[in-house]
Amino acid sequence: MGWTGIGWWIAFGLGTVGTAVTYLWPSAREFGYGLLGVGTFALAVAASGALLSIWDRLKSKVGAARTMLLFGILGTWVFLTFSVVLFVWAIFHPRPMPLQASAPARDDGPLQWYYNIVMNGGPLAGSNVGSLTFPGGNISQKEVSLKSAAIRSAIDGSELTLKVDTQNELVAIDQINLIPPGAPIRLVAVFPKQGGLSKEEFLASWSRFNLVVKDDTKEYRVPFNEGSIAPFFPGMVGPRVTKKQ
């Protein structure tokens, strides 16, 4: 088989495992990315070995100049093919985007919360809803102590306690220090069901909810409704055009 053949098998195996880990276990996504990185390196090494072998064979048969011309044509064809595939993929598999409404919820602080929530998973991603992220920030000139944060369903009264994204990990609110002046905040609602909520489960309980946050001075209530989540569920919620009966 040789080292080139071993490299192909390593690349295929790590790519498969890395892809599975990335999509099936979101909490271990960094590990999946690592496997994909090693698999990509193995693929590059295997491809380099294969190209060098082909180069030597062609050079001995048709000469160096013609070999360089053939490789140039092949490289151009691969580049154009890859570009077209990426273009078609981007059209038929759009990435889930956060809401574009950047206006903050009306409040005089010290904390401020925004409506441009981010959804991990969902119909646009072709998977269940794993979590919601709520961006905000300390707009005051003093440190703020965050006391509690949750989302409450306006449909069945369910409540889900939020965690704080500290860039390195998600932690409970009682485990963070005071929020410095001007610091951004990202609160994350992780749905506890294994594998996340299906679109039917999410819409049944969370198509209307309130973000409720308390600090050491006040309580904040930010309402979200079907219009807020409509970009994540195209044609499934909110008003829409229908065909006459």
Domain residue limits, the chain: 2-92, 111-232
Q: Which residues fall within 8 angstroms of residue 227, CB to CB, at 6 or more apart?
A: 238
Give the pLDDT band of residue 29 (cuts 50, 70, 90).
Answer: low
CA end-to-end distance (rounded Å), the chain: 65
CATH top-level class for 111-232?
mainly beta
Residue 5's pLDDT is: 56
Report strand pairing: 127-138 vs 184-190.
Answer: antiparallel
What pTM did the predictor assign?
Answer: 0.57
pLDDT at residue 167, as a whole number = 82
- The model's pLDDT over 97-150, given as tens digits with 9 standing for 90+, comes to 444 444 555 567 799 999 999 999 999 989 999 999 999 999 999 999 999 999
pLDDT in tens, 151-185: 999 999 999 999 999 988 999 999 999 999 999 99
> DSSP character for 174?
G
Which of the four pLDDT bands, split at 50, 70 and 90, describes residue 28? low
**Helical H runs in the chain?**
2-24, 29-62, 64-92, 199-206, 226-229
In whole numbers, what is the pLDDT of the chain averaged over residues?
A: 78
User: DSSP letters of 219-238?
Assistant: EEEEEE-HHHHGGGSTTTSS
